[in-house]
Amino acid sequence: MVRIAVIDYDLCRPDKCNLECVRFCPINRSGSKAIELSESRKGKPVIYELVCVGCGICVRKCPYNAITVINLPDELEKKLVHRYGINSFKLYGLPIPIGGKVLGIVGKNGIGKTSAIKILSGEVIPNLGDLESKPSWDPVLKFYRGSEMYQYLSKLVNKELRVVHKIQHVDVIRKFVKGVVKDVINRIDERGIARDVRKYVNLDSCWDSSVSTLSGGELQKFAIAAALLRDADVFFFDEPSSYLDVYERLRISRAIKEFIKNKYVIVVEHDLAILDYVSDYVTIVYGEPGVFGIFSKVYSVGSGINNFLIGYLPSENMKIRPEPITFNKFGGGLSERFEEKFISWPNLRKSIGSFELSVDAGDVSKGEVLGVVGPNAIGKTTFIKLLASELEPDEGYLTTKMLRISHKPQYVKTELFEWSSVEEAFKELCKSSQLACSDWFQNDVIKRLNLHKLYLRNINELSGGELQKFAIAVTLARDADIYLLDEPSAFVDVDERLTICKAIKKVVEVRKAVAFVVDHDLTVIDNIADNIIVFSGVPGVRGKAFSPTSLKRGMNVFLKELDVTFRRDRKTGRPRINKPDSYLDRYQKSINEYFYESPVEEVEE
């Protein structure tokens, strides 16, 4: 067995603990040194994996959950591609680019997806686990000789391939790119397709704006457009759907398929419907976040995503999750379950500046989860703020003021919380909420979202993704009648999104409360919503919210406006986007069934 010992040095705080990990290590006490303090690590401990026996004492003694020790099969070490340092993350294998096809990558956060992209783009030279020597491409090429990867890497090393990388965190673009959007776009247009790309990606709203003033969604579209305009051989798109609504996600997916042909394309994406739509093949990365990641073999897109959800990889004979994730294959129209109406509202109207929102009358029952779908800047967040009594309607009334409300806003900021640390927050919440202290909440919410590792961190030290998960857990931990969650899937991976869906449904059911969930990931909406509210209109000008309706009926209206059809996967029940003008796409449009609820025979298109 190969032993991996990883220490999260961001969590490790030897100045605030008794270093019991060192003092109680049985190997240390017998004279050898399995774990000791290191001057190179500024007095923090280092675990020597060849000496460590994997007893797990240091893991249990660490109060900060900073240590992980895992045993892996010996043969896996032959696939080691890169390690960042002693007691750091290990990456096994790489996704193999396929010429002329789009390869999708799916997996948890912190498991090596971005690291693999940096290697394949030439930004990082893999060290093959050798931490003593300076990384060089020669041993890497020797390592892959005789394989498909060798052909790609040899071209990359010999500079026969030009690479374009659309980065994951587009916010940094503001710091490095100056000027007006139209000037930058026209300057970097190497293929003479700026006009067509502008139309496909829909850059009109920010065409005359300075790059430094762009919103997250505008930055995302700008970055994707800039990548498409380059005359390159390899294109990497790392989480291209972040900040974008459903309309925009479909637009950029079509743009990638339309403007990049006969090239190497790799897309990392957490929205399963979009990943399915844009990809020709899929590779799965699995393992332990922050500890190790393993890339699977390449699968056809339908089989690959199904294998990921089911949790079993047949080519590797590997189980990657304890239980499969399945969707309601015959979902839609579950309103008959709900008899007791809990909240109702009349027609509402609200104006903010030049924008006007109108809301049709509706109601929601105890135990019900309402999904809210529609494009950006159409009034969804305004509606949630009306329900939260943060805004007052200009016409109509709401009775939610008399109810307890727990609200996770669209943009989470540290100043929203009155506590200093994550641990303090959940201790205080446990005093007023029995559910927050239950074994179920601790195991299926706190631990599955890896929040237990952040207990001793200050809230203002959390990253964007960590803060999002913390805000969701805090929202669900509160004892409330109404739960309002605005874009809970932002910055979290597929597994975490489905964990959040399960937690929301459980909390609403146990507390006999209601939940309104705004999200752009239609897989999330399909997984969580009993009924939905559809928003339509002109973004930034006027929006209209229709009365709540069944999932099937609402999604049919919504998808018809998008001119996109969905079918059900036979194995998992997940919604899948039909390829444009395919047989199923034409058939479903002919019978006006844009959201087809009956599973169909799967044919890879």
Q: Across all residues in the chain, what is the average pLDDT?
A: 92
Give every CB contact of residue 537 below 8 A, 6+ residues apart in sequence: 378, 379, 543, 544
Determine the distance from the C-alpha atom of residue 524 to the mean position of all C-alpha atoms in its chain, rounded to a whole number.
11
For residue 415, name the pLDDT band (cuts at 50, 70, 90): confident
The predicted pLDDT at position 335 comes to 45
pLDDT tens column, 185-205:
999 999 999 999 999 999 998
Whether 363 and 344 have beta carbons less than 8 Å apart is answered as: yes
Angle at the Cα of 488 from the Cα atoms of 281 and 536, rounded to 5 degrees = 85
Nearest in space to 283 (alpha carbons), one of 420, 448, 104: 104
Whether 492 and 468 have beta carbons less than 8 Å apart is answered as: yes
Nearest in space to 574 (alpha carbons), one of 282, 257, 310: 310
SS3 510: helix
DSSP state of 209: S
Segment 501-525 mean pLDDT: 94
Distance CA 272, CA 171 (A): 23
Distance CA 290, CA 545 (A): 42
Is 0.85 topped by the overall pTM? yes
The predicted pLDDT at position 16 comes to 83
Per-residue pLDDT for 516 more than 50?
yes
pLDDT tens column, 149-189:
999 999 999 999 999 999 998 999 999 999 999 999 999 99
pLDDT tens column, 315-337:
999 999 988 887 865 444 444 55
In the numeric block, which tokens belong to residue 304? 């690959």
Distance CA 120, CA 284 (A): 16
Distance CA 215, CA 195 (A): 22
Q: HEC string of 342-354?
A: EEEECCEEEEECC
Dihedral sign for Cα atoms in the order 277, 282, 286, 290: negative
In the numeric block, which tokens belong to residue 262? 């006969």
Distance CA 220, CA 237 (A): 11
Distance CA 316, CA 324 (A): 17
Residues of the chain with pLDDT > 70, as a percent, come to 97
The predicted pLDDT at position 570 comes to 87
* Domains identified in the chain and CATH numbers: 2-72 (3.30.70.20), 78-319 (3.40.50.300), 335-549 (3.40.50.300), 563-605 (no CATH)
Distance CA 15, CA 457 (A): 14
Whether 220 and 242 have beta carbons less than 8 Å apart is answered as: yes
Distance CA 177, CA 218 (A): 14
pLDDT tens column, 469-486:
999 999 999 999 999 999
Distance CA 525, CA 528 (A): 5
Whether 216 and 243 have beta carbons less than 8 Å apart is answered as: yes
Nearest in space to 1 (alpha carbons), one of 48, 59, 53: 53
The predicted pLDDT at position 456 comes to 83
Helix (H) or strand (E) holding 375: none
Scanning the structure block, which residue is given the tokens 């030279």? 125
CA atoms within 13 A on the CB side of 230: 18
Per-residue pLDDT for 129 more than 90?
yes
